[in-house]
Structures are given as C-alpha cells and as structure tokens.
C-alpha cells in the first residue's frame, strides 16, 4: 500500500511530502499542470467559479471527443456554471435536503440489515464486495422509485460509467456503452413510472418538474443520470475505507461500539484521512492569481484534498486519527458552488454500515493478507476488504 500522504495525482514515482505542502510549497506545477496542497488555498480554489470542473477533459483524454456521451457531459451539472448550473442544481438540492435524508434513515437501516442477514459470518468475507458495493445502487433504486430487483443493473451501469476515472484509454467503449444502457434504462423507468402513476420519489419529482415546464424532458434524464452515476462508486469505496480505517483503531472502535453516537464524528475523521476524492481536478478559465502564482488560462489545476485534509496549519497532529477532533471540516465533498449534493446521504449510508458492524460484529478484525487498499488516479480505493466478522 502506498504511503497515505503521497502527492502526485498520476505518477507513482513522485516524492512524498508532508500534508499541506510539497517541498515547502503550497502550489506546485509539473507535467500534470498545477496542484494546490494547503487547506486554505484549496478551499479558495474550490469556491472560485473561474475554475471549472475537468470531467469533460477527462472524457476527452480517454478518447471520447464527440457524440452523445461527450455532449451529455458538457451539459451536465458538474460542468456548467452560473444560472444554468443553479437551474439544474436547485431541484436536486431541494429534493435532497436534510429532512429527506433523515426520512431515508430507516430505509437505509432496512437495506443494510437485509444485506447483513444474508452474510455468511462463519468464514472470512470480503465486505467491500458483499456489503459496500451493493448498498448505493439499492439506495438509488429507492430514491428513484425503481424496484430493488433493478439494483444489480444500476450497480453495473454506474461502475462501468465511472471506469472513466481510471484515466485509461482502453475503457472508452465501456464508458460509451454504459451511458447508452443508462439512458435506455432511465427512459424505460420513466415510462414505467408514468404508466403506474407518479409517487413521492426523486424521479417522480423530476418528471413533475418536467410536466410543469420547469425542466425540459432532456434535463429530467440529465438530472437522473447525474444522480445515478454519482451515487454509487465513490460511496462504496468510501464506506469500505471507513470500515478499514476504524477497525485499525481498536481504542476508537471500542468507544464506537459502546457509544454509537460517536459514529458521525468517526466517519468525518476517516473522510479527512482517507478521502475517496483525493484530488478534485479543475481547469482555469482565465489567467488566475492564486497566492504568488499566476495560473494561465486552460491549465489543469488539481486540488490535492488528501494533502489539504492533512494540513498541519489547519489540523493539529494531522496524520493522527482523533475521534475528538474539533472543527473537523475535510474537503472530501468539495466546497463552493459544486459541493457534493449527495454528501448527507453518502455520510448517512456509511454511518449505517459502521452502525451495523458495531451492533452485530463488535469483534470484527481485518484479514490483512486478503485486503487491498491503495491509491490510483488521485483517488483512494479499496479492491478487497476481507474481515473475520466474529473476530
């Protein structure tokens, strides 16, 4: 496993650095463009609308330079700014407010308990595959008002769509195919919902917004697509990273088992130390002064979240897991106008996974030889998390 503070987004041979700076500098440049490594500047860049998300460039880099998938990405919520962005963001933000997430809590517990009931706990088991990867697509089905039997399809579509994040050119056809399948699936789901009558779910809400002329038909599908693709992969990896990190902190784990009220703070602390989104990549739309550096228009700018989250100027003893840390606001869900719309939901999902393990399997241990955790392409990821659930 790589050292947790490794800096470079895409090259495995880059020197290590201390959190918050690379060779003493908070803004550095290289073949990859620019990287921002300290907490304060990272937050400023994330909140500055002159930096646009680089998801479209990522797509172009793997060879998707035109066609419907490229055009979708260009128009999607993450890529647009100003009024058009608010036009797409507001309906989702309204629907996904804190009250809704609170309402979903019982459903989450039900989904996770159902998965837990099926676990064979008599032998070591890969909890990433059997638990974490399955939950987000089931939650999406609930949100979208789709039958739970659609969950494996949703999981497969979203994982293939986001294989884009590997930055590997060989996945272009997989990504194209996954989007086409996704749109066919959503068109069919919308038709099924219309036939059965609209309900209280998110997709029904979006369809109603369309019927009232607040969204075009295309925007309804765009919104549903953005939520589907964003909902699964990051949450699955982050949930496993949280479980992995907490089981490696026996004292903290015992405190959590004794007092589940500590789970939200524990989740936040792991989000800080092991952020799935270790890098958030943007593009400068004009020449922009950041500190003492002028970043030229068109440059790639990578916000090194895994460095900023360990900035000693912001977090005391930044490499230490501290369940009692105060003012703990990691940048894992970004900041500013594009901050993650699903953060409350993702955090609640992860907290429920931890809660289930703490309740049912307080003695669980990691089988290190069958666990694989690492970093690639600016992300923390977990391929396998094998646990002895009964210790």
* Residues that bind ligand HEM in the complex, under the rule CB under 6 A: 46, 53, 77-78, 89, 226-227, 230-231, 234-235, 238, 276-277, 280, 332-334, 338, 340-342, 345-346
**Between residues 69 and 283, which has the closer beta carbon with respect to ligand HEM?**
283
**Between residues 161 and 334, which has the closer beta carbon with respect to ligand HEM?**
334
Assess contact for 308 and 20: CB atoms under 8 A. yes
Torsion sign over Cα 355, 277, 385, 130 = positive
Q: Which two tokens stand for residue 88?
A: 């797409």
Q: What is the dihedral of CA 265, 266, 270, 273, to 10 degrees?
A: 70
**Residues near 34 by Cβ (< 8 Å), separated by ≥ 6?**
27, 28, 290, 293, 295, 299, 300, 301, 302
Question: How far is residue 170 CA from its own chain's centroid?
Answer: 23
Least Cβ distance, residue 186 to ligand HEM (angstroms)? 15
**Between residues 193 and 338, which has the closer beta carbon with respect to ligand HEM?**
338
Question: How far is residue 97 CA from its own chain's centroid?
Answer: 18
**Residues near 120 by Cβ (< 8 Å), separated by ≥ 6?**
none
Q: Is 26 exposed, middle or buried (0-12, 13-18, 19+ CB in 10 A)?
A: buried
**Between residues 225 and 371, which has the closer beta carbon with respect to ligand HEM?**
225
Least Cβ distance, residue 173 to ligand HEM (angstroms)? 25
**Between residues 58 and 367, which has the closer beta carbon with respect to ligand HEM?**
58
**Between residues 210 and 342, which has the closer beta carbon with respect to ligand HEM?**
342
Give the up-direction half-sphere exposure of residue 59: CA atoms within 13 A in the CB hemisphere: 23
Q: Which residue is nearest to ligand HEM (CB)?
A: 342
- Rounded to whole angstroms, what are the CA distances from 294 to 39, 282, 287, 307? 19, 15, 6, 21
**Between residues 46 and 175, which has the closer beta carbon with respect to ligand HEM?**
46
Least Cβ distance, residue 234 to ligand HEM (angstroms)? 4
Least Cβ distance, residue 133 to ligand HEM (angstroms)? 13
Least Cβ distance, residue 249 to ligand HEM (angstroms)? 19
Least Cβ distance, residue 170 to ligand HEM (angstroms)? 25
Least Cβ distance, residue 275 to ligand HEM (angstroms)? 7
């Amino acid at each position: 496993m790589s050292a947790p503070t490794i800096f470079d987004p895409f090259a495995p041979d880059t020197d290590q650095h201390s959190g918050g700076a690379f060779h003493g500098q908070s803004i550095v440049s290289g073949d990859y463009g620019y990287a921002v490594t300290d907490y304060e500047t990272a937050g400023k860049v994330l909140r500055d609308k002159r930096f646009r998300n680089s998801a479209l460039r990522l797509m172009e880099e793997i060879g998707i330079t035109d066609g419907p998938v490229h055009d979708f990405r260009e128009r999607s919520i993450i890529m647009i700014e100003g009024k058009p962005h608010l036009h797409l963001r507001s309906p989702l933000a309204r629907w996904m407010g804190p009250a809704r997430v609170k309402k979903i809590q019982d459903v989450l517990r039900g989904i996770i308990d159902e998965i837990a009931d099926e676990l064979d706990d008599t032998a070591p088991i890969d909890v990433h595959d059997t638990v974490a990867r399955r939950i987000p697509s089931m939650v999406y089905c609930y949100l979208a008002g789709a039958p739970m039997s659609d969950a494996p399809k949703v999981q497969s579509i979203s994982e293939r769509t986001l294989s884009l994040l590997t930055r590997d050119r060989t996945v272009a056809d997989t990504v194209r195919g996954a989007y086409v399948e996704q749109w066919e699936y959503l068109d069919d789901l919308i038709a099924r919902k219309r036939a059965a009558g609209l309900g209280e779910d998110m997709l029904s809400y979006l369809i109603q917004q369309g019927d009232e002329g607040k969204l075009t038909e295309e925007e309804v599908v765009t919104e549903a697509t953005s939520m589907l693709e964003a909902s699964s992969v990051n949450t699955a990896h982050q949930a496993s990273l949280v479980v992995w990190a907490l089981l490696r902190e026996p004292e903290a784990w015992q405190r959590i088992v004794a007092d589940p009220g500590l789970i939200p703070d524990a989740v936040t602390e792991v989000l800080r130390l092991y952020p799935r989104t270790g890098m958030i990549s943007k593009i400068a739309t004009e020449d922009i002064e950041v500190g003492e550096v002028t970043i030229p228009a068109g440059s790639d700018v990578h916000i090194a979240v895994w460095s900023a989250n360990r900035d000693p100027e912001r977090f005391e003893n930044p490499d230490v897991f501290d369940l009692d840390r105060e003012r703990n606001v990691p940048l894992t869900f970004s900041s500013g106008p594009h901050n993650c719309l699903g953060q409350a939901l993702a955090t609640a999902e992860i907290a429920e996974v931890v809660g289930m393990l703490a309740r049912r399997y307080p003695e669980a241990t990691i089988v290190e030889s069958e666990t694989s955790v690492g970093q690639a392409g600016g992300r923390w990821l977990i391929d396998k998390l094998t646990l002895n659930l009964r210790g």
